[in-house]
Amino acid sequence: MDISLDSIKGIGPARLRAFQAAGISSVRDLVMFLPKDYRDLSSFTPLSEVHPGDVVTVHVRVAGEPSQRRARKLVITKVYVTDDTETMAVVWYNQPWLKEQLSPGRELLLCGKCEVRGASLQLTSPVIEREAGLLPVYRNIPGIPAKSLRQSVEAALKACEGQWPDELPEAVRRRHGLCERNFAMRNAHFPDSREALEAARRRIAFEELLLYQVALSLHRGRNEPGAQVAFADDEIDAFWRSLPFAPTGAQRKVLAEIAGDMRGPYAMARMVQGDVGSGKTAVAFGAMFLAWKGGYQSALMAPTEVLARQHYEGAKALLEPLGMKLGLLTGSLTPKQHKLAHEAIAAGEWDAVIGTHALITEGVEYRNLGLAVTDEQHRFGVRQRSNLGFKGDAPNVLVMSATPIPRTLSLILYGDLDISVIDELPPGRKPVRTRIVPEEKRKDMYGFLRSEVRKGRQIYVVCPLVEESEAVDARPAEQVYEDLRTRDLPDLRVELVHGRMKPADKDAVLAKFHAGEADVLVSTTVIEVGVNVPNASVMVIENAERFGLAQLHQLRGRVGRGSDEAWCFLMAEPNERLRFLCSTTDGFKIAQKDMELRGPGDLFGTRQSGTITYGVGTMAGDTQLLKEVHDEARALLKTPASPDTETILRLAESAYLQKFRSTPAN
């Protein structure tokens, strides 16, 4: 199956180059290029029920002689078709050869879009399909028409029919009712039935997710001896008593879980999930305190310098009064400051160090790192979040995320981690009141923003784009900034920040807003993870329909961090998704809904791409399958010497370990 693609009929030099540019260089690669969707050609729409804009499949017969004419550089082929409920025109552009296929009385299966031309409806450039059934729809490959791509895949399947080795152990297949591999590959592309398609998808997804989970555990080095931290039980209570606020029951429970891991003989690998404002940082500081009590250093890595400095100031306020010595290490320090920081870390003068990815650069050596914490872990790849853990002698690893992820999906994407959830907010924290604001209410909203600023509050305005784009119909940040500054809110202090700015300039604007020297901050999603401004009471999100629910929830978590009532205004026309967001502040319910509507890929950002390609995308809603995979992976790893486990370990290493190791570290 690793033979070259040019052995497949219809793949010449130009098409071969197009496939190679898409990362497809062998028959195996092409067969593994699985459909993103399927078009059901077994259900036909009567012509009498077709409406403008519909993409339909119709079963018709040619009702008369076709015509052909030229208009400018176009050759227009037109024919009338009927299905006894209605007669309709069909038009193709620059496909003159089709005229020979349109003899009167011939039956056609057409799939295309219905449009209005003049006073009549017509089908425009529909595809003529050969047979009814489920038709695969593939991701677009530049230079290869959709029909040609389908034909190439079909030819590749025939070339390797019956030759795909089924390496998944038979006992695993039997336990979970999985179909044979060759059946799965054929029916994943050209299914015999819906039942065959579901069996094929389940088999491929199960195998991919199982190997991914096992590879994650191998990469992490699960169950390896690690830094065993010893501390007295009363140290946990001493930490909570030292805080200026009472912890929630969820915070106490999660720190107790972390403490149990840190005391154990194996290196901790745990993720703490919780909504913005649930108190994850205080729990992390508690873990750092316990590491110090046990004689170990700790490190906390944040994705931005602003967030690192914010954590540093918070840690100093809470931990230095207890006797800990803290340091900061970021990329913007001077060479002399870097040298002094490296020396303090290596000598153990700093009990805890907080910083950016500078913490994992080659020159940083820790004296006795016992705890590695990464914040907002979805901003780091598998390799990067692991690299901090490699800095010490198997330190305990804790990752934090404010991006809600349905628990079943967490079991797969973070199979190398145990998961704790902080599922309650501190008492007194008011939920952010969320409203949809259509365009005609914009001026009224600006009046409300002025009144909030007069009360001493601050405002975020988030846009999906930096600058204007012909491809996307949305208000860019630069335009919104100019409109607010010169026309809509000229009496207020308005600033702009976006990801294309130099890091130093971006940090300067964020610091200015944090200090209260700006009333309104216009931004792209760079503020999704960043400054904690308790004084910010309003979040305005332009073109809210362009964001996923989970991201909208993450953004509105930037406000309401103080004691004042907070608002989030969604600038958009009302729809089901946005109404759902207005109805709940439960991040996990929102994440589940987002995954149902958009699929899981959009929940995790680009750093997860290239790892799971099919399984999560097709079966993420099947919670039973996800749990089956999770339990099977754990059971196999408990018997590393068994032949079945050895086979799975070999397949997992081949499929994923190299990808994890080659993931860019920044």
Q: Please, what sign has the CA dihedral across residues 477, 584, 603, 545?
A: negative
- On whether the CB atoms of residues 535 and 457 are closer than 8 A, the answer is yes
Does the structure show a pLDDT above 60 at 471? no
Instruction: Tell me which of 163, 178, 207 is where a domain ends.
Output: 163
Does the structure show a pLDDT above 60 at 41? yes
- The three-point CA angle 566-569-573 to 5° equals 160
Does the structure show a pLDDT above 60 at 345? yes
Please check whether residue 351 lies inside any domain of the structure: no
- On whether the CB atoms of residues 477 and 527 are closer than 8 A, the answer is no
Distance of alpha carbon 118 from alpha carbon 643, whole angstroms:
70
Full residue range of the structural domain in which residue 5 is found: 1-38+138-163
Residues 237 and 382 in one domain: yes
- The three-point CA angle 523-525-530 to 5° equals 90
Top mean-pLDDT range of 157-161, 195-199, 268-272, 306-310 = 195-199
Please check whether residue 634 lies inside any domain of the structure: yes
3-state helix, strand, coil in the chain (%, to 5): 45, 20, 35
Tell me the CA distances in angstroms from 459 to 28, 402, 542, one per residue in order: 53, 21, 13
Q: What are residue 280's phi and psi, to 5 degrees? A: -65, -40
């872990």: which residue's tokens? 377
Angle (deg, nearest 10), helices 13-21 and 146-159: 90
Task: State how beta strands 120-129 and 134-137 pair.
Answer: unpaired
Please check whether residue 25 lies inside any domain of the structure: yes
Residues 151 and 205 in one domain: no
Residues 504 and 635 in one domain: no
Residue 54 maps to which CATH number?
Answer: 2.40.50.140
pTM here is: 0.63
Please check whether residue 410 lies inside any domain of the structure: yes
208-234 pLDDT, tens per residue? 889 888 887 776 655 567 789 999 989
Distance of alpha carbon 80 from alpha carbon 506, whole angstroms:
61
Q: What is the pLDDT of residue 389?
A: 53
364-411 pLDDT, tens per residue? 889 999 999 988 654 444 444 455 555 666 788 898 877 666 655 666
Residues 556 and 661 in one domain: no
Does the structure show a pLDDT above 60 at 239? yes
Task: State how beta strands 269-274 and 120-129 pair.
Answer: unpaired
Q: Which long-range contacts (CB under 8 A, 24 or more apart) does 488-495 make?
A: 488/446, 489/446, 489/449, 489/450, 489/519, 489/520, 491/450, 492/449, 492/450, 492/453, 492/519, 492/520, 493/517, 493/518, 493/519, 493/520, 494/518, 494/519, 494/520, 494/521, 494/522, 495/520, 495/521, 495/522
595-620 pLDDT, tens per residue? 666 554 443 333 333 345 555 555 55
Mean pLDDT of the residues in the chain? 84
Residues 419 and 483 in one domain: no
Distance of alpha carbon 180 from alpha carbon 174, whole angstroms:
10
Angle (deg, nearest 10), helices 623-637 and 194-220: 40
Residue 339's CB: how many other CB atoms inside 10 A?
Answer: 12
Q: What tokens were used for 598?
A: 């958009």
Residues 96 and 151 in one domain: no
Structural domain total, the chain: 4
Residue 78's CB: how many other CB atoms inside 10 A?
Answer: 15
Please check whether residue 168 lies inside any domain of the structure: yes
Residues 84 and 145 in one domain: no
Name the least confident of 422-436, 485-499, 586-600.
586-600
Please check whether residue 315 lies inside any domain of the structure: no
Instruction: Tell me which of 78, 110, 129 is where a domain ends.
Output: 129
Please check whether residue 523 lies inside any domain of the structure: yes
Residue 152 maps to which CATH number?
Answer: 1.10.150.20
Q: What is the pLDDT of residue 1?
A: 57
Q: Which pLDDT band, with edges at 50, 70 and 90, does 128 fall under? A: confident
Q: Of the candidates 272, 271, 262, which has an alpha carbon nearest to the alpha carbon of residue 226?
A: 262
Residues 50 and 29 in one domain: no
Residues 633 and 485 in one domain: no
Please check whether residue 592 lies inside any domain of the structure: no
- On whether the CB atoms of residues 19 and 157 are closer than 8 A, the answer is no
Does the structure show a pLDDT above 60 at 282? yes
Residues 62 and 90 in one domain: yes
Residue 272 half-sphere exposure toward CB, CA atoms < 13 A: 31
Residue 187 maps to which CATH number?
Answer: 3.40.50
Contacts of 192 (CB under 8 A, 6+ apart): none
Residues 478 and 554 in one domain: yes
Q: What is the pLDDT of residue 541?
A: 96
Residue 449 maps to which CATH number?
Answer: 3.40.50.300
Instruction: Tell me which of 114, 148, 163 is where a domain ends.
Output: 163
Does the structure show a pLDDT above 50 at 502? yes
Residues 175 and 157 in one domain: no
Q: Return the bridge partners of 110, or none.
A: 58, 128
